[in-house]
Amino acid sequence: MKGPGLFSDIGKKAKDLLTRDYSYDQRVAFSTVTTSGLSLTATSLKKGASYLLDLGSQYKYNNALIDIKFNTDSNVYCTLVLSEILPNTQVIALAKFSDYNDSGKLEVQYFHHHASLAASLGLDQSSPVVELSGTLGTHGIAFGAEAGYNIYTGDFTKYNVGIGASGKEYNASVSILADKGDIIKAAYVHHLDDKQKTSAMAEFVRKFSTNENTFTVGGLYSIDPQTTVKTRLNNSGKMAALIQHEIKPNSFLTISGEFDTKKPDMSPRFGLALLLKP
């Protein structure tokens, strides 16, 4: 899409590097694509003593994409994405069939060379929420804001302001007034080589209501084109690491672990995730 991206893209690079692919459960996923373009996915998750199964299918035709998912909790989700109904626009409709009160969301996104806008309406029967967000800038720097408003109660559910900057060697962001003014968050990612195979990152979060500061540092290193290592450590003493290996194109084995350095008597947590695509 054109322009600086959506408000949700501000700070996403750092968030993905610090949190994405870390998992402390046992997960196996299988995905395949038919000759007609229909994608099928099955995911098995062992969480404690419980087993969860998710099944999904996705089909794209011209400018339309439909995604259907259901799981062992009897939740059924259907997402319809329509692109270019009007120039530079995208419409997303999410329906949740298993819960009448929370039946989904309708969202419209507009992208311009120097701006983007998004508006959504939550279809919750008891408390529908309208959310608006906007971003101004270019691919190098972006200023944005978002707000959520509950129509029935007349209360703001959220309001955030953010600034993001990115270049070939770095990606930085600052979120002001996050969580309705209770949080200030700053994040920075620095790429140590042109191909971004080695990166260092840091995130600082200040929560005013509890007078808490959280500082997290992390790193990413690509051992070879198929193997990546990530690690992170915060000021609470929690250290996490993962190694991800691409078994074959688009198929990954990921092993994660987390250890509390301030509580050495506690057992570390480990997770295993396997994604297979034929």
Q: Is the pLDDT of residue 73 over 80?
A: no
CATH number at residue 228: 2.40.160.10
Q: Is the pLDDT of residue 102 over 70?
A: no
Confidence class for position 114, pLDDT limits 50, 70, 90:
very high
1 within some domain: no
Point out the least confidently predicted range of 49-53, 89-93, 201-205, 243-247: 49-53
Confidence class for position 25, pLDDT limits 50, 70, 90:
confident
Contact criterion met (CB below 8 Å) for 203 and 192: no
Average pLDDT over residues 243-272: 93
pLDDT score at 221:
95
Average pLDDT over residues 76-91: 92
Confidence class for position 253, pLDDT limits 50, 70, 90:
very high
Confidence class for position 98, pLDDT limits 50, 70, 90:
low
- As for how many domains the chain has, the answer is 1
191 within some domain: yes
Point out the least confidently predicted range of 72-76, 247-251, 266-270: 72-76
Q: Is the pLDDT of residue 175 over 90?
A: no
246 within some domain: yes
Average pLDDT over residues 251-265: 93
Each residue of 181-225: pLDDT tens digit?
888 999 999 999 888 889 999 999 999 999 999 999 999 999 999
Q: Which residues of 112-132 are buried (b: 16+ CB within 10 A; e: fewer)?
A: eeebbbbebebbbeeeebebe
Instruction: Tell me the two tokens of residue 233.
Output: 């450590």
Average pLDDT of the chain, as a whole number? 89
pLDDT score at 176:
74
- Domain residues for 248? 7-276
Greater pLDDT, 254 or 34: 254
pLDDT score at 206:
92
2 within some domain: no
Distance between CA atoms of residues 230 and 112, nearest Å: 35
Confidence class for position 99, pLDDT limits 50, 70, 90:
low
Residue 143: what residue type?
F
Ramachandran angles phi, psi of 14, nearest 5°: -65, -40
pTM: 0.84
Cα–Cα distances in angstroms (integers) from residue 143 to residues 5, 134, 165, 179, 204, in the given order = 10, 8, 9, 18, 19
Confidence class for position 96, pLDDT limits 50, 70, 90:
confident
pLDDT score at 79:
94
17 within some domain: yes
Q: Is the pLDDT of residue 270 over 70?
A: yes
239 within some domain: yes
pLDDT score at 126:
74
